[in-house]
Structure formats: C-alpha cells, structure tokens
Amino acid sequence: GPAPPAEKAAAAPTPSPGPPPAATAAAPAQANGHAPAGERLFISPLARRMARQAGLDPATLVGSGPSGRIVKADIEAALRQAPPAAPQAAAPATPPPAPALRAGAITAPHDLVPHSSMRKVIARRLVEAKQQIPHFYITLDVALDALLDLRAALNAKSAKEGPGAFKLSVNDLLIKAAAIALRRVPKVNASFTEDGIAFYRDVDISIAVAIPDGLITPIIRHADEKGLAAISNEMKTLAARARAGKLKPEEFQGGGFSISNLGMYGVREFAAIINPPQSAILAIGAGEKRPVVKEGALAIATLMTCTLSVDHRVVDGALGAEWLAAFKAIVEDPLSLML
C-alpha cells in the first residue's frame, strides 16, 4: 500500500500490465537480501536513520514500500527478527595523563628537610601578611654621624663592668629614636580591625632577631619610657634568650611596631613584610660613607637607608612620611634621646 505520510516515496514509473511484480524486472533487493553491486539503494530518510542507529546494514534488507523502497516498517521488522547485536568491544582504556607538575615543584636532585613548627608559623603569617595587608613603602636616607658620636661618648663613660656597665649598639639608639617618633606621631602605633582602628596606648617595639630555626621578634615594652642603657641591656638579654629558645610567650607576643636591621650584613636597603596585626615595620640598612652636599659644598657623611613598610588601611602616605621624617630628625639630632 502507499507509504505513511511521514515517508513520502520518490516518484516511480507507473507499472504496465503484465506478469506479477515478482516476475518483473529485477527488484532493488535480490532474493539473497543483497542489492546488486553498483545499483542504487532505495530507502526513506527515516529508515536510513533508524538503520544507522540500530547498526543495521540496509543493503541486506528487502523493502516493502513502493518499488521496493525500504521504509520504517522494514527496519522495525528486521529489529524484531535479528538476534541481539553482540556488544561492541570496549575501547582500550586511555592511560591517565601524567600528573601535571605543581607550580614551583622541584625537579632537580635535592635533600628535603621537613618544616619545623616555627617555620610553618612564619610561612603562614607572612603569606597572610602579603595577601591581606595592602603594603606600601617609604624610603629615605638618614645621616648617622651625630648619633655615632653620641654613642661613642656614652660608651666611653660606662663602667667597665658591674651593675651599671653598658655598651650601646647603634640599634639600641635606633630603637629609642623609633619610640620617640611613635610618641610624636602616635597614629602609626596602631592596628586595623574590622570594627575600627586600634590605637595602642603603650609604645611596645618588636625587634626582629635571627635564630637557627627562623626569626622571632622579642619586644621592648614601654620603649619610650626607658633609658638607653636599660634598652641596651634588655635587648641583649632578650636576644640571648631568643637564640637559646627560652623566650616566654609574653616576651614576643604583641607589640605595636617592628624594626628589622640588616645593616650588620652590609645590606644597603630592603623592604620588610609587616608583622600582623601591626601596621608598620622599619627596615634599616647599613651605615655607609657617601658623598653629600652640605651648604653648597661636597662632603662625606655616614648615611643609612631606611624603608618604612606601612599598612595602607591604617596609615596613609602623608602620615607614614610624617613618622619617617620625625625618626630622621631624631637620629640626626640625637640629644633628644637623652631626654
């Protein structure tokens, strides 16, 4: 009968009277089910799509449509009669890709030393500091000649030994200078919190000290209220206890401002990472003889390059510059250290 409406047959010549259709000219499919070589295969688009999806070869089918056309019903009949298709062999498993190297992975021969507890804490805190604190940096040169003269004069007056003996270092005088500058510009002595800016009432200065396992920052508390000899002796005691691993938590936890001095290594200048939750750290370089111009004439002076790292959430540029200028003025006219 005629093909279903969804399968419009292609126009075919009107058959002439004669023998039954089976005896007419060769049908599109032979009795053995194969189309003769080179002969066109008549199949509706829907049947072709169904055969492809079912994995059937339409050339092996006999069409029941007009002029032997293979139609939907032929595909459905073949599917009912055909044995289940053998499952296709599984494709060979693709070997997993080689694991990608992590960023910073070490491929060269090396010896691995596990992290100490201190190194883990240092790493975590410094990463937090750089990720969470918007650093900015202010640098200037400070003349040391007057401070060096004062140091030499004071050390010359110290007893050789005994309770009143002292030996001032340049760093001792710089700690005191930073403490006085924090009194003059107190808004730098602060920390950022989610609720507001915390301004510290006391001037407690953390001093970076290198130890075998890393770095620790013992604190000179009330540094603005202590004399130079007291700061010097306390700093020596704290540094020795730090290197021996004998600091108490209250001796290194806290502080409102930090100092890191690499001048003894000949480092000219560097920028330090802020010690959270503080908002500023002063990096001190080596004192060097450099040419300067004084009153229009060339001269030689001992200059020290200082860089202040600042948390911009707490300290703006002008405020940071004000503090650094105050520190410079105190160091270059150090008699105020005696007051």
Q: Which residues are catalytic?
A: 312
Nearest CA among 192, 175, 223 for reference residue 312? 192
Residue-wise burial string across 257-278, b where 16 or more C-beta atoms lie within 10 A, e elsewhere:
bbbbbbbeeeeebeebbbbebb
End-to-end CA distance of the chain: 120
Place of tokens 């080179």: 38
DSSP 58: G
List, in order, residues 6 or more apart from 2 with CB less than 8 Å away: 9, 66
Structural contact between residues 326 and 184, judged by C-beta atoms closer than 8 angstroms: yes
Q: In terms of Cα–Cα distance, which of 217, 181, 221 is closest to 315?
A: 181
Q: How far apart are CA 252 and CA 27, in angstroms?
A: 101
d(CA 73, CA 51): 11
Residue written as token pair 């009107």: 14
Task: Report in angstroms the alpha-carbon separations of 129 from 172, 211, 280, 324, 326.
Answer: 27, 21, 11, 22, 26
Which residues are within 8 A (CB) of 146 and not within 5 positions of it... i.e. 6 or more apart? 331, 332, 333, 334
> Could you give the count of Cα atoms lying within 13 Å of 143 in the half-sphere of its Cβ?
14
Structure tokens at 76: 């459905």
